[in-house]
Amino acid sequence: MNPRRIALYTHSTNPRGGVVHTLELGDALARAGHDVTIHAPDPTGQGFFRRTAARHISIPATPAPASLPAMMVQRIAEISGYVRDAGKHFDIHHAQDTINANALLECVESGQLRAFVRTVHHVDTYADPALLAWQRRGIRGAASCFCVSAVWQNFLAREHGLHADIVPNGVSVQRFTPHPAPRDQTLRAELGLGAGPIYLAIGGIEGRKNTINILRAFQLCLQAHPAAQLIIAGGASLLDHSTYQATFHAELAPMGIADHVFLTGPMPDDDMPSLYRIADALVFPSVKEGFGLVVLEALASETPVIVSRIPPFTEYLSDSTCSFADPQSPPSIAAAMQRALTAAARRDAIQARNKILPEMSWEISAARHASLYESLCAEAAHA
């Protein structure tokens, strides 16, 4: 397969699932011999939250307006302006999100680019008609679409009449392991954690992450485990979650359990393997996900996981590899959190690591992407 010049575009330099996917994919493609450059708007000028093996470019950007539609207009203009001036010399332009897809589409429509491809991780529900239009335009304007799970492949076929190729997500089992490291105990001390059990939720306080129902379920778990603690890590986002966060804090205050709940914000990337290891379970009953990369990272660490009994989780997990819950029912989530502490749940996590993860490496994902890129390049050559 020919080495290709590949431009990957992601919406942020901060730790979010789609950004992690882009960085890991870029690094795996680079290791496979491709010339990869990862692009992202970067108003701070500090670059990505983690080191990358692939080349990366911070697209000059100014601080985003508070309004999401205004931010979209600004970021699309910044990215498309950069691509027109400096970013055209690639075989493949690959957008991972709505913002970059619309920016690249502007370059296609103005004749600066021939085409771009798009990964649709998930599709959001917006009240604002302009946001819905940008989302639809960013999907339908791509020369080819990829998805990370069948639920979104089916959605694109049903709602947009598009065929999307499934490309797998991955996890590094060299980085995320069950083997203790010295940082585990120092991180535990820095966070002020006790004997536990320790529950870990990742993604910050967001409606899509179902954080309020996680909190309600955790309160129920405290009845059986009075020393339990809940870590809510992450939360970097372009979206405004302030209303949901205010509701969360309004519920937390009268519960009288605030000293059991730790809100860390985004964690240093180097601390993530230790964070999974010191947790007794990952609590991830999301109401909508593209795939759920953190689930793979937890299982690579042999940490039991609690997830919603909905796709995409049901596509690659089963009752023998996780603890399923009804995301709308705090008692159901609490019951799954209780089960996750059992020896059977620990065995399930070990089984999942051995059974599921060998088919979910970033090398496999990169090879699948490279094959699809090659087909697109061949089609373009014969057009």
pLDDT tens-digit readout, 52-79 = 889 999 999 998 888 889 999 999 999 9
pLDDT of residue 34: 96
Residue 82's CB: how many other CB atoms inside 10 A? 19
Q: Tens of pLDDT along 131-148?
A: 999 999 999 999 999 999
- The three-class DSSP label of residue 120 is strand
Percent of the chain, pLDDT > 70?
A: 98
Q: Of 55, 106, 117, 56, which Cα lies nearest the Cα of 84?
A: 106
> Please, which pLDDT band fits residue 176 given cuts at 50, 70 and 90?
very high
Q: Into how many domains does the chain fold?
A: 2
Q: Which residues partner with 323 through β-bridges?
A: 306
| Same domain, residue pair 313 and 250 | yes
The pTM score is 0.93
Q: Do residues 353 and 369 both lie within one domain?
A: no
Residue 383 within any structural domain of the chain: no
Asked, for residue 176, whether it belongs to a domain, the answer is no
Residues 6+ apart with CB under 8 A from 145: 117, 118, 119, 120, 139, 156, 162, 163, 164, 165
| Domain range enclosing 78 | 5-170+361-378
Residue 218 covered by a domain: yes
114 and 220 co-located in one domain? no
Q: Let me know if residue 236 belongs to a domain.
A: yes
Residue 289 lies in a domain: yes
- The answer on 164 and 188 residing in a single domain is no
Separation CA 184–CA 281 (nearest Å): 15
Nearest-CA neighbor of 211 among 58, 52, 327?
A: 327
pLDDT tens per residue, range 205-220: 999 999 999 999 999 9
324-365: per-residue pLDDT in tens?
999 999 999 999 999 999 999 999 999 999 999 998 999 999
Q: In terms of domains, do 30 and 147 share one?
A: yes
